[in-house]
Chains A and B, each alone.
Chain A
Amino acid sequence: MRQFEDDPTLTDLLQPQQVSRLESSLEALGLGRVSLTTTRHENAIPVEFNLETVAWLSGDCSQKNLRAAAELVSFILLFVAKYRLAANLHHDATEAGYEELQRKHEALKASEARYRTLSDQLQEKVKEQVETIQKAQQELYESAKTRSVGQLAAGIAHEINNPIGFMKSNLKVAGDYLDELEEKLPGDEATRDLLNDFRDLLAESQDGARRIATIVADLKTFSSIDHAEYTHCRINDLLKAAIHLLRTSYSDRDLAIDERLGELPDIQGNPARLSEAFYNVLDNAVRAIDEEGRIIVKTATDSSGNIAVVIQDNGCGIPEASRGQVFDPFYTSRPVGSGTGLGLTVARDTVRAHNGLIKLESRLNAGTRITLLLPSKH
């Protein structure tokens, strides 16, 4: 590659017609036939420029005049060369500048691409964070709800426990008093009828009080106010309590719930939340069946101590289109106002919080089976 500083030749400096013009100008000055060439002629003298013989000048004139003419030509060439050098340098510098600009442009493009991927990743991260926050909020809401239900239940249980206690013992004492009264009263037909009726009333009341006491005990298990955090859980007991509570809530219906509970190891878990999860799934099953419907509750374990809870109904089933949404917060197939729609979401979140899995299988008008898998360890 030619460098800007390479020594210029005559043809680099002057065009052929410029050489001709210079020659005729010199001829007009009376130097006779003048020729300026790159090759040496007889009687020609060198035209020097920057230590370089760039041309040979010959003419039909004295050597003295020819030397003067050569001096004039090199003087002219100095300015031509100055311009040429500057132009060449400018060209070289601009070229190098342009190349550097392009390199910078490429580098800029690369860094822009890097920033774009970075920004995409950032967006992805933001999305993840938003999901995490939403989930945390959901859990917070749920735990607050569970806690308040638990507190309410515990409060009621506590309040009811005392009066039911003295009611039960009072009713028993009242029965004893009745026996004493019977001896002192006349043994006529009407009195006996009255006393028998009285006894029946007392027995019914005692039975009612006993039932209330059982409900209170179930409530206590359900709310598990005694152990709010992770502790040993007897899944079968939690299920029985949930079923009992369900029957009580639906006392107007005679629910056919088939309990097929297997032998289970205890697992670590949050009893309050697990109870609520079971209750929610059961509640869903009850709402799916009609008077003829049946619910099967099965539990089983594998060799590693993992637990499967299967709650199955032969109810209306879930349409395929909705199956993906049943775990969505606030999804509900039921009329608005009949529930929060959080039932299955809470069940899923609880199972996940226990590192478990929840599976839904359903056939329209045939029934639904929900399987909750709880690992022995998490």
Chain B
Amino acid sequence: MADYCSDDNRLNLKVVFYGPALSGKTTNLMQLHTLLMPERKGELMVLETRDDRTLFFDMLPIGLRGSSGLDLRLKLYTVPGQVQHDSTRKAVLSRADGIIFVADSLSAQQDNNAIAFGNLEENLEKVGLDIEALPLVIQFNKRDMADIVAEDVLQERWGPTPWSPLQMASAINGTGVVDTFRALLDRLYSVADNEFRLAERHGIDRAAFVDRLSAGDAHAPV
């Protein structure tokens, strides 16, 4: 749940990278840390075990300031994908404002994708969030690999859902990562503007919101 504090004119938003274990959530976040050059960017916190698996979560805070002096912060979290960390996943998921579901494109991983998506639906319900109302983008990662499900098959399969079109990515190469993030920002803006009048009160329109939060070396900050 977005958290606006009028005393310091500060708005906190939370985006969670969800998905099965090893689908590339942490890689997505590390790439964003490398690729993005928003106005404000904090330290990337990676909390992993020795075998590189996310134990608790990873977190990257970024932010911008509105013309009203609004201090807008976006915290990006990943969850641990392994089944046994469900209670951690739930704790990270609670009060989320947007979800990026990182699915694994490998044919052999489709069952795990489905299980993880079911788990997301279940946990959203448990933490009191409505999947229909929540900005959610689905990314199919690891497009660089062999033995993956073809894109047109995936797009067709997900076509009738509210989360179409899907984002394709190869996080390890950094492709599709920023596009996925921008797609999420776009959906997130609709909800946040509706609730906090970002354009009206703080001078942040949709393009500013998306561009400035996803500004990178390629799109130098305005």
Contacts and interface: CB of A to CB of B under 8 A. Distances in A.
B87 A93 contact: yes
A82 to B, nearest CB: 5
B54 to A, nearest CB: 11
Nearest to B95: A3
A86 B56 contact: yes
A370 interface: no
Given A50-B61, A51-B63, A85-B47, A93 B91 contact: yes
Contact of A93 (B40, B77, B90): B90
12 contacts: A5-B14, A50-B61, A51-B61, A51-B62, A51-B73, A85-B45, A85-B47, A86-B47, A86-B56, A89-B88, A93-B87, A94-B87
A81 interface: yes
Interface string B45-80: 101000000011101011100000000010101000
Given A5-B14, A5-B75, A51-B40, A82 B47 contact: yes
Contacts of B47: 82, 85-86
Contacts of A92: 91
Contacts of A50: 42-43, 61
B21 interface: no
Contacts of B40: 51
B45 A51 contact: no
B71 to A, nearest CB: 8
Nearest to B90: A96
Given A3-B95, A5-B14, A51-B73, A82 B90 contact: no
A333 B57 CA distance: 87
A94 B75 CA distance: 23
B92 interface: yes
**Contact size class for A?**
10 to 19
Interface string A93-114: 1101100100000000000000
Given A5-B14, A78-B45, A85 B59 contact: yes
Contacts of A96: 87, 90-91
A90 B14 CA distance: 19
A4 interface: yes
A263 B220 CA distance: 119
A98 B62 CA distance: 33
A100 B86 CA distance: 12
Interface in A117-154: none
A79 to B, nearest CB: 10
Contacts of A90: 56, 88
Contacts of A93: 87-88, 90-91
A93 B85 CA distance: 9
Interface string A71-83: 0000000100110
Interface string A318-349: 00000000000000000000000000000000
A275 B47 CA distance: 94
Interface in B187-219: none
Contacts of A82: 45, 47
Contacts of A81: 45
Contacts of A89: 56-57, 88, 91-92
B4 to A, nearest CB: 14
Interface in A197-235: none
Contacts of A51: 40, 42, 61-63, 73
A255 to B, nearest CB: 87
A90 B87 CA distance: 9
B134 to A, nearest CB: 17
A15 B77 CA distance: 27
Given A81-B45, A89-B56, A97-B87, 15 more contacts: A5-B75, A50-B61, A51-B42, A51-B61, A51-B62, A78-B43, A78-B45, A82-B45, A85-B45, A86-B55, A89-B91, A93-B90, A96-B87, A96-B91, A100-B87
A71 B17 CA distance: 30
Contacts of B75: 5
